[in-house]
Amino acid sequence: MTLPPTYIPISEAARKYGLDEPRLKSLVENGKIRAAMMNQTILISEDDTQAQAKPLRKEDLPEWQAFAHLEGVSIWVSEAAREHSIPHQTIFRWLKKGIVRRVGESGNKVLVDAADIAYCAKIYHDKNTKQGRRLFDRNGLPYKNKTSPLS
């Protein structure tokens, strides 16, 4: 016996699978996700939504694409810290977590990818948060607080 598909509200699907509600609505309109209406609420197929949910990469974001021309260009950590007004230790933390790629070494200087640094600097300055706040998730994407009403 085949069970019928499970339907969930768009807002829940967006939160659960890390997708934007407008994107989900677009997928419904294009017939990529089955949908139903119940009590003025749009419900979508959880199976279809899960099939559409691909893990995003930071390279897919428009924030990173703005600096794609710098990909493969190397910059010293010290130079990056000065140029982007970011503490050295913050850059080394990003390097350790894999958010910024290590390109190589020159003597005792660590070389990192300029596109990654520019992307991280943009997020760092745009968020303008207090010290110790999380900026990136484990995939290098801007961190979204799960309890925030805006996420």
Is the same domain home to 111 and 63? yes
- In whole numbers, what is the pLDDT of the chain averaged over residues? 86
Is the same domain home to 63 and 35? no
Q: How far apart are CA 141 and CA 132, in angstroms?
A: 17
Number of compact structural domains in the chain: 2
Is the same domain home to 47 and 101? no
Q: How far apart are CA 80 and CA 117, in angstroms?
A: 7
Per-residue pLDDT tens digits for 44-56: 998 888 877 765 6
Would 25 be classed as within a structural domain? yes
Task: Say whether pLDDT at 119 is over 80.
Answer: yes
- Averaged over 95-107, what is the pLDDT? 92
Q: In which domain, by residue range, is 87 found?
A: 58-127
Is the same domain home to 66 and 108? yes
**pLDDT number for residue 122:** 94
pTM of the model: 0.63
The one-character DSSP state at 28 is: H
Beta bridge partners of 106: 109
Is the same domain home to 41 and 66? no
**pLDDT number for residue 142:** 84
Cβ–Cβ < 8 Å for 41, 35: no
**What CATH number does the domain containing 80 carry?**
1.10.1660
Is the same domain home to 66 and 25? no
More confident: 26 or 83:
83
